[in-house]
Amino acid sequence: MQSDTFSRSMITVLRRRSIIPLAILLIIGFGTRFASADSGIFPYPYKQEVLPNGLKIIVIPMPGSGLVSYYSIVRTGSRDEVEPGKSGFAHFFEHMMFRGTKNLPGPEYDRLVCSLGAKYNASTTDDFTQYFLTFPKEDLEKIVEVESDRFQNLSYGRLAFQTEAGAVYGEYRKGITQPFALLEEKLLDRAFDKHTYKHTTIGFEADIKAMPQGYDYSRSFFERFYRPENVVILIVGDVKPAEAFALVKKYYGHWKRGYEPPKITPEPPQTAERSVEIKYPGRTLPILCLAYKGAAYDPENRNYVAARLMVELAFGQTSPLYQDLVLRRQLVQFLVAEAPMNRDQPLFAIYTMVKKPSDVPVVKEAIERTIKEYQTQLVDPQRLADVKRRLRYAFLMSLDSPGATAAKLARFIALTGGIETVNRLYAAYRCVTPQDVRRAARLYFQPQRRTVAVLKGE
C-alpha cells in the first residue's frame, strides 16, 4: 500500500498540478445525471447515480481497451483525525482494509485479485483515502462483489490490529529517515497551531507508538467514516454504465448509512513569520522551504485560481528563476512550488535543494525577489496564455488509459463529491488576467503568512 506521507512535497507537485477542469451539461432523470463532454476539457461523457443510502457511483465509459479501473474513494484523510492522541488512523485503515472479511480473509483476497490479473493498491492523503484496481472487463462483477464485502464487512481481531499497528510504526521509522519526510513533519508542526493539517498523513510519532492500545477506537473510526454517504465509487474503462450501476446496486444497496462528519477546528490567522531549523541526522544537501498560508480549493475564488497559475509562472521550469538557479548558475538541485488542492487552508510552498550551505541565503533572497516582482509588476500576457495552454495540453495528454483518467479525477471527487468542478476550474483559469496574478501574489505571499524551514545534514 502507498501512503501519501509527504503530500505537500516536491514529489507530489506534478500530480497536483494535473489540473482537471470541466464544465458539463447535465440532464437529470430518475436519480442519474448524464454529462456531455462537448462543453469542457474533459473528453469523455460520464454518468452518475446516487443510491438511496447515499453512495455515489460515477461511470466513465472508455470502450476498446478491455480494461476497467475501479476506485473506492473515501472522503476521509488525516484532516479528519480530530481526537487528541488519535492521529494516523486514516492511514492505518489503508492497511487494515487488506485484512479482509470473514467471507474472504486477507490472504484469500490477495490470491483472488492476483488470479484475475488485477493490479491493486491504495493510498492515503491529508483529505482522502483511495483504493484502486485495474482489471479485465470480464471480471467487473467479481471485483464489485469483493470490494463491497470488505467495505461493509471488514473483520479483524485485536491481535491482527496490534500486528498491523506495529507495521505502521515501522513504516514511520523507515520514512522519517528520509530528509523530505523529516522536513514535512517539522514544517507542518511549526506552521499550524489548531488545524489537523498540523500532523502528517501517517500521524504524530507518539500517536503511532500508542496505536496498539487503540483497538476499540479503531472499530469506532471504521463505523463512523466507512459509510456509503462518505464514499464515491468511480468506474472508468471498457464498461457499460447500466451494467455497472446494476452491479453496484446489487452488492452495495444494503450498506447502512451512519457517517459522522468531524468537527475540525479552523486554523487561526497567522500574523507573524515563523521559522524552523531542522537538523537531519545524516548527510544531505540543504533543503529550503518557504511555505505561505494559502486558501482551500475553490474554483469560484479568483485569487486562489490565480495563485495556482502564479506558482507555475514564477517557479516552473520555464520561469526565469528556474533558468537562473537550476540551469545557469546551478545553485540548486531543483526548484518546485505548489498551490495545492485541499479541502481546508493548505500551505502554498516553494521547495529547493541548495548545493552549498553558504548559498542558502542567496537562494532565499532570489525567491523573495521573484515574489516581489510578481507583487509589483504585471506578468507578460503571452507568458500567462502559454502556461494556461501548456497545462491544458498536459492534462489531455495524460488521459491515455482508464487508470490514468481515474487517478486524475480522484482528488476532485474527494474534495467536492463529484467531477462537475473540473470544468469550472478550467473555465476560471481561462479568465485569469495579469492583474489577478499580481493580486494573488500580494494576498498570499506575504512574510507574515509564511513559515521558513531549512533542513541541513550533519
Q: Is there a domain that residue 75 lies in?
A: yes
Domain final residue pick, 192, 221, 252: 252
Domain final residue pick, 252, 282, 315: 252
Same domain, 219 and 298: no
Same domain, 207 and 296: no
Q: Is there a domain that residue 3 lies in?
A: no
Same domain, 318 and 232: no
Confidence (pLDDT) at 31: 37
Pairing status of strand 129-136 against strand 67-74: antiparallel
How many domains are contained in the chain? 2
Q: Is there a domain that residue 279 lies in?
A: yes
Q: Is there a domain that residue 191 lies in?
A: yes
Q: Which range of residues forms the domain containing residue 384?
A: 274-456
Same domain, 165 and 28: yes
Same domain, 378 and 436: yes
Q: Is-contact 353 285, C-beta < 8 A?
A: yes
| Cα 312 to Cα 394: distance, rounded to the nearest angstrom | 13
Same domain, 356 and 429: yes
pLDDT in tens, 250-287: 999 999 999 989 999 999 999 999 999 999 999 999 99
Same domain, 247 and 304: no
| Cα 326 to Cα 324: distance, rounded to the nearest angstrom | 6
Q: Is there a domain that residue 374 lies in?
A: yes
DSSP-derived letter for residue 22 is: B
Which of 97, 218, 91 is closest to 154 using CA atoms?
Answer: 97
pLDDT in tens, 81-113: 999 999 999 999 999 999 999 999 999 999 999
CATH number of the domain where residue 237 is located: 3.30.830.10
Same domain, 310 and 248: no
Same domain, 285 and 242: no
**pLDDT < 70 stretches in the chain:** 1-39
Q: Is there a domain that residue 88 lies in?
A: yes
Q: Is there a domain that residue 268 lies in?
A: no
Same domain, 248 and 285: no
Same domain, 88 and 227: yes
